[in-house]
């Protein structure tokens, strides 16, 4: 019997979002064997995605304007009206989650919810039910698709636990890495820190100097912030376009510390010798049910908070330039105690 095809464009959004969706579609493919999942991913994801998920998912690149493809989006209704009128269909997992996380709701939020309910009822923009907001984001991202709605979270979690050993094995095999990647000879005896993030989760330079001055700090090679760490005398190493660089560096280190940014999503499935430090998002939403490393949760009274890019929003909703967690003695002690 020929499989029914589900086509998804997951090429837009953050890299962490793309990874969590791939994991979740991989689980769904096992639970829904009558369906064939075709997933469009960013080109840089293709080699690693094919290695890890290619036995169940059809990994594609590029983008398509085809009306039979569901497209992930974080755009508002105003920007989606024209493509909706042209017959395009979208998945919008974050509209309700963002409003849910707001400390103070506004009239525009209520209007936004009503508008998305209307387009959701028409099948133009798929939005997950409110009850799934606190759950793992990978599941939240896929559960609005009608073919997947039959998969309850308990089923999803059970299958993910079954698949976790297989995913771990693949990610600890010969993964694609960038030819430019350089591994320091003493990394095996050192801590590696992935300090980055587009919002307030970024590790402040002063905190790094005070608490992990002997560690290696890993940056994407185009990240200008790396220069400030180098000038301050900290050890800096770079990863490049292949997502496998992050995994490879972490595997070579004695212990890994990562903010709740893109590297943390890869590490949750590849290296239990990892501490993930949370600042913004709910632990239940951002941490995979199969992660066996250490999670240092936020202690800030304003947690959870909205993710706001610091280049656009110099201050968070609480009016702060830096997250309160980094100034907390308890938070710092929890991180340092976690390193084994």
Three-state SS at 210: helix
**Distance between CA atoms of residues 237 and 246, nearest Å:** 11
Give the predicted TM-score (pTM) of the model: 0.93
Q: Residue 52: count other Cβ atoms within 10 Å of its Cβ.
A: 26
Would residue 267 count as lying in a domain?
yes
The helix/strand count (H/E) of the chain reads as 13, 12
Same domain, 167 and 193: no
Assigned token pair, 193? 């820190």
332 inside domain? yes
Peptide bond into 299 cis (omega under 30): no
CATH number for position 249: 3.40.50.2000
181 inside domain: no
Residues 210 and 332 in one domain: yes
Last residue of a domain, one of 171, 202, 230: 171
Last residue of a domain, which of 127, 143, 171? 171
Q: How many CA atoms lie within 13 A of 285 on its CB side?
A: 22
Q: Which residues pair with residue 58 across a beta bridge?
A: 38
Domain's final residue, options 119, 137, 171: 171
Containing structural domain, residue 57: 4-171
- 19 and 125 in a common domain: yes
151 with 257, same domain? Answer: no
Angle at 183 between CA 182 and CA 187, to 5 degrees: 155
pLDDT tens for each residue of the chain, 340 residues long = 688 999 999 988 789 999 999 999 999 999 999 999 999 999 999 999 999 999 999 999 877 777 789 999 988 888 888 999 888 999 998 777 776 666 676 777 777 778 788 887 888 999 998 899 899 999 999 999 999 999 999 999 999 999 999 999 999 999 999 999 999 999 999 999 999 987 778 999 999 999 999 999 999 999 999 999 999 999 999 999 999 999 999 999 999 999 999 999 999 999 999 999 999 888 999 999 999 999 999 999 888 887 777 777 788 877 778 899 999 999 999 999 999 7
What is the C-alpha to C-alpha distance for residues 237 and 196, in angstroms, rounded to an integer? 13
Q: How many domains does the chain have?
A: 2
105 CB neighbour count, 10 Å cutoff: 11
Instruction: Identify whether residues 136 and 256 lie together within a single domain.
Output: no
Contacts of 136 (CB under 8 A, 6+ apart): 20, 157, 284, 285, 287, 288, 289
**Do 248 and 138 share a domain, yes or no?**
no
Q: Is the domain of 245 the same as that of 323?
A: yes
Same domain, residue pair 152 and 218? no
176 falls within a domain: no
Does 108 reside within a domain? yes
- 149 belongs to a structural domain: yes
Q: What is the DSSP string of 121-152?
A: HTTSEE---GGGTTS-HHHHHHTTSTTTTTS-
**321 in the same domain as 216:** yes
Structure tokens at 29: 């493919």
Q: What is the CATH number of the domain that holds 46?
A: 3.40.50
Residues 17 and 165 in one domain: yes
Residues 147 and 202 in one domain: no
Measured distance CA(154)–CA(272) in Å, rounded: 23
């Amino acid at each position: 019997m020929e499989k029914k095809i589900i086509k998804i464009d997951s090429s837009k959004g953050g890299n962490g979002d793309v990874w969590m969706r791939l994991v979740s579609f991989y689980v769904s493919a096992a639970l829904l064997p009558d369906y064939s999942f075709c997933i469009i991913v960013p080109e840089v994801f293709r080699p690693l995605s094919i290695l890890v998920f290619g036995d169940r998912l059809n990994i594609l690149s590029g983008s398509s304007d085809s009306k039979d493809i569901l497209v992930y989006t974080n755009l508002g209704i105003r920007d989606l009206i024209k493509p909706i009128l042209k017959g395009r269909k979208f998945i919008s997992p974050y509209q309700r989650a963002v409003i849910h996380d707001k400390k103070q709701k506004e009239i525009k939020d209520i209007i936004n919810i009503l508008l998305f309910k209307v387009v959701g009822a028409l099948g133009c923009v798929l939005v997950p039910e409110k009850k799934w907001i606190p759950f793992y984001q990978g599941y939240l991202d896929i559960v609005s698709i009608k073919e997947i709605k039959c998969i309850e979270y308990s089923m999803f979690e059970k299958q993910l636990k079954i698949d976790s050993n297989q995913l771990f094995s693949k990610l600890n095999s010969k993964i694609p890495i960038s030819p430019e990647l350089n591994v320091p000879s003493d990394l095996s005896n050192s801590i590696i820190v992935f300090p980055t993030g587009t919002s307030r989760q970024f590790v402040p330079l002063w905190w790094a100097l005070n608490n992990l001055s002997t560690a290696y700090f890993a940056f994407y090679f185009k990240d200008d912030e790396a220069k400030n760490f180098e000038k301050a005398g900290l050890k800096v190493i770079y990863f490049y376009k292949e997502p496998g660089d992050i995994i490879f560096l972490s595997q070579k280190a004695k212990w890994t510390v990562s903010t709740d940014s893109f590297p943390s999503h890869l590490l949750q499935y590849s290296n239990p010798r990892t501490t993930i430090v949370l600042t913004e998002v709910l632990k239940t939403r951002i941490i995979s049910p199969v992660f066996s490393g250490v999670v240092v949760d936020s202690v800030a009274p304003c947690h959870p908070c909205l993710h706001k890019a610091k280049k656009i929003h110099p201050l968070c909703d609480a009016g702060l330039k830096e997250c309160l967690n980094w100034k907390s003695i308890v938070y710092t002690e929890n991180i340092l105690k976690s390193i084994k």
